[in-house]
Amino acid sequence: MTEKSNTTGVLLLNLGGPDSLEAVRPFLYNLFSDRLIIKLGPEFLQRPIAASIALSRAPKTRAMYQQIGGASPITRLTLEQANALQTSLGGNFRVYVGMRYWHPFIEAAVAQAYADGIQHFIALSLYPHYSLATTGSAFAELQNVLKTYPLPCTYIRSWSQNRLYIDALVKSIVEAIGDDNHADCHILMSAHGLPVYFIENGDPYLDELNKTIDLIKEMLPGPTYHLSFQSRSGPVKWLTPSTEEKILQLSAEGVRRLIVVAISFVSDHIETLYEIDILYSHLAKKHGIILKRTRALNTEPLFIEALTDIINGYYK
């Protein structure tokens, strides 16, 4: 460990994604090994079952990644977000990136911060809406890592109602609407799916999603808003409707133009670039709908301003 620093560390936490086609199988193994996402039988069988699932799903998942360039852009984009946030925050902070299921792992980020002499962390999950399956899992892993690197840490659990974040979403929607009449627009908020049992056990994910959408409606009245859930897998009961089901329903109701907002994602990755841009776009077109996705927040200046506001709010 180097000399102690007065600089505050900021750790951006995210899912991570395979950085090559070869990384798909081990990434899936890491994902399905996490019992906070899904319990695969008794605990001692979690990893063997995860290995089996990763082996069986890897070919199909690789084919998906091949269609978006052969890798997930999430690590590159999160590092770009970290660099932009570093510039915005200034010299009193040092921003690190830790991924839950692929490199750079949370442990590597904490080890680097410890070596840099960081004395205190602010952990900011890049999931705007808290769920045990996302932010909760990342925080659990961070807490485990901090047993080896004993740094005090402030955890930012959720920021689903941050006004600058809402502003950034509204801006992206307005840009997508363009010159169309707002009253004629249908906006589909497509959120990441979650098994119903999480909500039944008190998980606030759905409630926080609805609060975000309500704030968007306040700022941008006129369009008709809908909520659906994507990226569902596994034989459990999931939040409904699925995005596929909602597109078919809207088509049957006569909707012909649809703007999709990837409401629970703050950067492009397979859920936006493959699921929405390819899979759902083709489905919509087949059923007479022109689908347009709002651009991801990525390094949108207003979004970086939101992250800066969130950090400064906790730092003060």
Q: Which residues are annotated as a binding site for Fe(2+)?
A: 192, 271
Closest CA to 94 of 82, 107, 106, 111: 82
Whole-angstrom CA distances from 115 to 4, 111, 143, 149, 151 are: 9, 6, 18, 10, 11
How many other CB atoms sit within 10 Å of the CB of residue 63?
Answer: 12
**Binding site members:** 192, 271
CA separation for the pair 219, 273 (Å, rounded): 27
Determine contact, residues 287/149, Cβ cutoff 8 Å: no
Q: Which amino acid is at 61?
A: T
